[in-house]
Amino acid sequence: MTSRDISYDAVMSRKNEIMKSSMQLDYDEFIQSPIAFDYERMMTATGYSMDDIIRIQQETKVGNTPLYELKNLTNAVRRLSPKGKGARIFVKDEAANASGSFKARRASISAFDAQKKGYKGMIAATSGNYGAAVASQAAQRGLKCIIVQELYDSRGVGQPEIIEKARACEAYGAEVIKLTVGPELFYMLLRTLEETGFFNASLYTPFGIRGVESLGYEIAQQSRQLLGKDPDAVIVTHAGGGNVTGTARGLIAANANSTKVIACSVDLTGLHMASDRDFNRKSFTTGHTGFGIPFATWPDRVDVPRNAARSVRYMDEYHLVTQGEVFYITELLTKIEGLERGPAGNISLTAAVSLAREMDDDHVIVVQETEYTGAGKHHNSQLSFARENGIEVRRGDPADDCPGKTIIIPQHLAQVQSKRQDIDHLRRAYLSNAAHRYPVSQWSKADIAFLAQDIKKAPEWVQNNLPI
Amino acid sequence: MAIISKGTWVEIEQIVLNPDQRAPSLPEETQKVPYVLRVSGFLIEDGQLGQDVKIKTIIGRQLSGTLRVVNPSYSHSFGKTIPELLTIGTDWEDK
């Protein structure tokens, strides 16, 4: 235990030194200005090749998950589509990874690196599937594990999905620090890193993102084997950006350069993420706009000096769906495809159903994840909790959905319609955020080149869209 | 009040930050309540509910706080049946 000052301000002021000693990764080497850094050099500095990543993941029951064609769902979509439309829908069953989600990929390289560097344990601050993934990977590598989790509102009430995630972490042998609502989660993470000297298994390190690259890589390989071609589109649930970034990088590593990367989130517009009141009024704890928009428009808001997850660098489209639409599709997947999976993993499937209608019937769309389900995570459990908490749950037109007040489950598949977002709007918001941190008048040519790459545009576009 | 024997699996609670110590710019409803932590472990000495106690967590860390629950358990479930879900994907509805 430390005898140092553990007040909020004191711990936050020691942020940089705590970060440095908890990963042995010196970000100063890559940083070029207050906004720019050498992203590719940071990613390769992990020292792992794709072959290394695949081998490390095989050691701990991660990867090589099945790619299934959803024929009944595709047929259901085709019945609603114009002639010649209705792409073939495939799903990568990531629930087959140890701990039941793609997050095992994200935790696996951190666990390997922590073990290699001689750390006794690892810590992650997360309320998502990532906690169970870190706990499961730590268990296999003989490391201790602490998960710092936002779990309850001030009444001590926790949404059932989050409670289940805490249970899973404890099941894999982790100590779970269960906290009430607030951004002070980061403070608690720093305090615990300092007290224990454990490895910081942040979601946003290069290790975490490199671990997801094998997912995109496998999709390209499996698609070539099954279909003799690359998928036309891969659809990815987007929250903090790691899923989009890692998957897209993996596709690029496999030279699947014509495959579109489509991001998708649940629309929770209007709910405040740091609100004690709104905390239990949402049925999704991740994969939603409360993370998706802020992280897309400024990735460097995380628990490491520079975020390796940079979604706008890679996404070709961004779509939103409603909570009710995802619950509908989750039930439909169970009933007609015989796959009972968790709702958060089905966010991208929901958008895929909508997009497949617009795509030619010889095109292929891959939904790149599923997650496990069960008590707490199950969509019935979520809807039951919502109803008990005064949220109106009914069948109807999803256009009437209002996050925090209603959950409208579509009456028919035809009503499942994802909403395509204007990515240029996200790009301009990103540039404004960059200007907020470093005045435009100070931006060098190198800064502009970095920003252009980071939003997947040419430097001229940045020049023409400079924030005022 | 009943004595809880050392070695019992319990949950403790700690106030990490009082409302006036919390992070700046929080929504009002969050700002006015304390930031609270709960964690489970084995009781190091005999204690009573509501008392300050020390525990050893599952990974062997020693932590202290107010004894809140004896044998903390999970009771989350599948919830009450939502009839609106049942007919999705069946002959009851036009697929």
- The string of pLDDT tens digits covering residues A44-101 is 999 999 999 999 999 999 999 999 999 999 999 999 999 999 999 999 999 999 999 9
Contact call for residues A139 and B58 (beta carbons, < 8 A): no
Question: Do the bridges between strand A233-237 and strand A364-367 make them parallel or antiparallel, or are there none, so unpaired?
Answer: parallel
d(CA A355, CA A20): 43
Instruction: Give one DSSP letter per residue of A81-114, joined into a string.
Output: SPTTB-PEEEEE-GGGSTTSSTHHHHHHHHHHHH
Interface test with B, best of A184, A194, A394 (most B CBs within 10 A): A184
Residue B74 and residue A167: Cβ atoms within 8 Å?
Answer: yes
C-alpha of A315 from chain center: 13
User: Once rounded to an integer, what is the mean pLDDT over residues A203-217?
Assistant: 96
Strand partners, B63: B55
User: Once rounded to an integer, what is the mean pLDDT over residues A230-241?
Assistant: 97
In chain B the first and final C-alpha atoms are separated, in Å, by: 61
Q: Exposed, middle or buried by CB within 10 Å (0-12, 13-18, 19+), for A138? A: buried
Which DSSP category does B3 fall into?
A: P
Strand partners, A85: A360
Nearest 10 degrees: Cα torsion A98, A101, A105, A107: -80
Contacts of A144 in chain B (CB under 8 A): 59-60
Structure tokens at A149: 């989790």
Q: What is the pLDDT of residue B94?
A: 63
Q: For A62-100+207-420, give the CATH class.
A: alpha beta
Instruction: Give one DSSP letter per residue of B20-45, joined into a string.
Output: GGSPSS--HHHHTS-EEEEEEEEESS
Q: A12 CB contacts (<8 Å, ≥6 apart)?
A: A187, A190
Out of A79, A332, A383, the one facing B79 most closely (by C-beta) is A383
d(CA A308, CA A344): 22
User: Once rounded to an integer, what is the mean pLDDT over residues A413-433?
Assistant: 97
pLDDT digits (tens, 9 = 90+) for A126-157: 988 999 999 999 999 999 999 999 999 999 99
High-pLDDT (> 90) share of chain A, %: 90
Q: What is the pLDDT of residue A142?
A: 98
SS3 category, A239:
coil
Nearest 10 degrees: Cα torsion A99, A104, A110, A114: 20
Q: How many Cα atoms sit within 13 Å of B69 on the Cβ side?
A: 11
Average pLDDT of chain B is 95
Structure tokens at A49: 């090749």
Q: What is the pLDDT of residue A1?
A: 46
The alpha helices in A197-308, defined as continuous H runs, are 206-227, 242-253, 289-297
Residue pairs between chains A and B whose CB atoms are closer than 8 Å: 143
Structure tokens at A387: 């109803």
Contacts of B38 in chain A (CB under 8 A): 151-152, 178-179
Strand partners, A213: none
Contact call for residues A45 and A29 (beta carbons, < 8 A): yes
d(CA B15, CA B36): 5
Contact call for residues B43 and B5 (beta carbons, < 8 A): yes
For residue A377, which amino acid is it? K
C-alpha of A219 from chain center: 17
d(CA A287, CA B10): 33
Structure tokens at A465: 């869209």
pTM: 0.96
Interface test with B, best of A155, A335, A379 (most B CBs within 10 A): A335
For residue B5, which amino acid is it? S
The position carrying tokens 């972490």 is: A169
Which residues 161-200 on chain A approach chain B with CB closer than 8 angstroms? 163-164, 167, 170, 173-184, 187-188, 196
Q: pLDDT at residue A334 above 60?
A: yes
For the beta carbon of residue A83, count every other beta carbon within 10 angstroms. 7
Q: A442 CB contacts (<8 Å, ≥6 apart)?
A: none
Average pLDDT of chain A is 95
Out of B16, B59, B82, the one facing A380 most closely (by C-beta) is B82
Q: For A8-55+101-205, give the CATH class.
A: alpha beta
Hey, where are the domains in chain A? 8-55+101-205, 62-100+207-420, 434-464
| CA-based torsion, A93, A290, A213, A461: positive or negative | positive
pLDDT digits (tens, 9 = 90+) for A449-461: 999 999 999 999 9
Q: What is the pLDDT of residue A16?
A: 86
Question: Do the bridges between strand B52-56 and strand B35-43 make them parallel or antiparallel, or are there none, so unpaired?
Answer: antiparallel
Out of B26, B78, B94, the one facing A380 most closely (by C-beta) is B78
